[in-house]
Structure formats: structure tokens, C-alpha cells
A = this chain, B = another copy of it.
Amino acid sequence: MSRIVMKFGGTSVGSVERINHVADIVKAELDLGNQIVVVLSAMSGETDRLINLTKDLSDNFPSSEYDVVISSGEQTSAGFLAGLLSSKGIKAQSRMGWQIPIITNDDFRSARIKAIHSEEILNLLESNEVVVIPGFQGITSEGRITTLGRGGSDTSAVAIAAAIKADFCDIYTDVDGVYTSDPNKVPNAKRLDKISYEEMLEMSSLGAKVLQTRSVETAMNNNVVLRVLSSFSDLSEGKKGTLVCSENGISDKKIVTGVTSSSTDAKLTLKGIKDKPGVAAEILGVLADNGINVDMIVQNISDDRRTTDLTYTVPVDESDKAKKLMEDLSSNLSYKDLIVDSNISKISIIGVGMRSNAGVASQMFRVLSQNNINIDVISTSEIKISVLISRDLTERALNMLHEHFELGKITE
């Protein structure tokens, strides 16, 4: 007997037919003698419908009431599934965030879970009830409704799994696992049987959309074993998917596990800044004060050796704001030119094996250069290397790196 949290995303509950299929998947797990908690997203499209209505009402709709509105989508999903299961003779009850309760901070629209009271859930499981919980929602300690931000249902599921000490947290989605690269761009991409939390975390933040970064973080910190599974495959096909667990659980470590791309950043270059101490600190300080996250940064001595060029990336939807801030600084900094380029792509290779293998970076740069792909900016961590390239070269870079590191050869 295992205790399992099963999370289904919006497309998995997007219609009456899909909800029926979810009920079948739940029943199959139940028939194996498992204890089941289900965490659901809103039906696909529903959250956007509600968000658009708040936008139509006001362009400064307050976050606390936004959360009251938006959280209703998950409430109805949970009611639908619990009701359907009951009507099929399967003992099931829904519990809202406030009923459990799931306590969050009061950062409306993007709250963080502080505590989950597991008693009610455990009591229901002991009575052989399937517990159906809306994801994405919680309440503050004062009892106001909060939501966790987009994709927050993954985080709800993992946090609930941690609270009730579940054996598995199964994330059901419209793909059947985590792939070595995006199959839409790399035809040869293979599904991974296992991946470590650390790698998954980098994959998620560097472009893989299958799991929300925060949910992986929560799983890692609480040692919750994740399984990424498809809710669209036939039950008779058996459970294929990807296990996300600690490094210790993975025996055959590759040097590189995955290759990702991300096109959500813009690059700003300040050319010919007078080189005096504290210039970079001043620029980054202004951006931080205005809530703009800077990702990659590089500073070069310019050709004339008395000035310097500074390049950094920011989320593309904040690039206008960043540009404006740089223009405001221009009298103070006296730079020659400001170039904004959003036609870029960030390509990353990820793998825990890099820790013990020198020379992976140079292999990556060589592969790209052999394919006439220029590298703009480089950033590295212990288990990943990211480079900026021109956006139109994204697929070529992904496929060449995927081939070079032999990711297509992973077999089950």
C-alpha cells in the first residue's frame, strides 16, 4: 500500500470526458490498495476567462479580490471530480484550501505555503475516502483567500505530499515525462526514466515547462519523490513516465542529462562606459531597486582600452523599463551607445556529471563554433552551462548539442 498524491493539470480536467478519464486513473490506483489524495487545476481556459473578466472590470484590480475570483476555478474542478467519483460508488470528498487549511503568507497572487494541517486529510484517508483538493489556493493566517501564482497547483501537490508523508507525488500532464530536450525542436529527444532534483530544477528554470520550478524546489527540500506521467495515455499501456528523485537514487549518471532553450530574455548592452570603480554596481543597483531581475551579466574591456562594455539580460517584458532606467542614468554614466536585443535565445546543457568532468564547457563551445553559432554571453553553475545565441539558430544548436552528448541514445 502506498500513499499517493495525484495532481492533474488543466488540460487533464478540460472537459467532461477528460474528468471521466481522471476518475478512471484514480480508480486504477485505488484498486491497487493505495491511499489517494487528488490535487486539481482549474479546467483549461477557465482561469484565463476569469482573469480577463477582472481585466475588463479594471486595469488595477486588487490582488486580494483577484485571488477570491481566480481560486473558484480550482474549487469547481475539485467539486466535479469528487462528485463524479462518489456517483461511481467511490468514496470521495473535496476539501478546499480553507477547510484543510493550507496556510500561506499574504502575498496575494503569488503566495507561498507556510503550513499545511494534515489532520483532516489523514482522517479522511483512514476512512478510505479519496480526498480531492483544489490546487493553487490557500488562506492567510487571517483567513483571506490566496493563490500561489500560475502553475501553483504543482507546488500545492508537492507541499501536500510532504505534509502527509506521501510515498509518491504523481504529476499528471499532457506529456508522458521529462525529455532530454524539447521534442518539438529536437526530433531525437528521449524521455528520461529518472532525473535528479538538482537537474530538474535547472531544466525547469532554463526552459523545460513540464514542472514549475518552485514545486521541484519544494520536492527537493522535503525529499518528495515525483513522478511525471501522462493523463492522456491509455490505462492499458501501463505507467511510463519520469521519476524525479535525489541523486542517490540514480545509478547511471550521464555527464549531460538535458539540453534546453529559453527565449524569454532580452539583452541590453551599454557600449563605451567610462571605466571607473562601481559602475556595474550602480547599474545593477538601479535595476534591483526597480524590481527587475538580471540574469546573465558580462563586462568587457572595449577596443580603446579606456572604456568598457557591459551586457546583461532581463525578462523580455521588462526590457522597455530597463532601457528607460539606463537612459535616465546616461548623464551620470556617460556611455556611448545602448543596444537592446530581444532576438536571442539561451541554450543550456544540464547534468550532475559536470561536477566531476572538466572540459564539458569547452566541448559545448567547440560544437557551437563548428556549426558557425556565435556565443554572446556565458554563465555557468556547478551542474549547467548557459550561452546566449541568436534566436534563429536555436534548433540547430539544440540538435547539435543533443547529438554531441549522445542524449538520443538513452534507452529504457
The residues of A with any CB-CB pair to B shorter than 8 Å are 16, 19-20, 50, 53-54, 56-58, 60-62, 64-69, 72, 75-76, 78-80, 82-84, 86-88, 93-94, 96, 98-99, 143, 145
A50-B66 contact in complex given A96-B145, A98-B98, A145-B96, C-beta closer than 8 Å: no
Could you tell me if B86 and A62 are in contact, using CB atoms closer than 8 angstroms? Answer: yes
Pick from B57, B67, B83, B96: contact of A58, CB below 8 A: B83
A57 and B80 contact, CB distance less than 8 A: yes
> Given contacts A75-B75, A99-B143, is CB(A66)–CB(B54) below 8 Å?
no
Tell me the complex Cα distance, A121–B53, Å: 27
Of B60, B68, B88, which one neighbours A82 at CB under 8 angstroms?
B68
In the assembled complex, 7 residue pairs joining A and B whose CB atoms fall closer than 8 Å, in A order, are A16-B57, A58-B84, A68-B94, A69-B83, A72-B75, A98-B98, A98-B99
**When chains A and B are docked, how far (Å) is the Cα of A246 from the Cα of B75?**
41
Minimum CB distance partner of A43 in chain B:
B53
From B53, B64, B79, contact of A66 by CB (8 A)? B79
A83, B57: Cα distance in complex, Å: 8
Taken together as a complex, chains A and B put the C-alpha atoms of A57 and B80 apart, in Å, by 8
By a CB distance below 8 angstroms, the chain B residues around A94 are 65, 68
- 5 nearest A-B residue pairs (beta carbon): A65-B83, A68-B79, A69-B79, A58-B87, A72-B72
Closest residue to A132 on the B side, CB-wise?
Answer: B65
Are the C-beta atoms of A68 and B61 separated by less than 8 Å?
Answer: no
Q: In the complex, what residues of B have CB within 8 A of residue A80's CB?
A: 53-54, 57, 65, 69
CA distance A84 to B65 in the complex (A): 9
B56 touches A82 (CB 8 A): no
How far is the CB of A407 from the nearest CB of chain B, in Å?
42
Say whether, besides A69-B79, A75-B75, A16 and B56 are in contact (CB < 8 Å). yes
Closest Cβ–Cβ distance, residue A323 to chain B (whole Å):
28
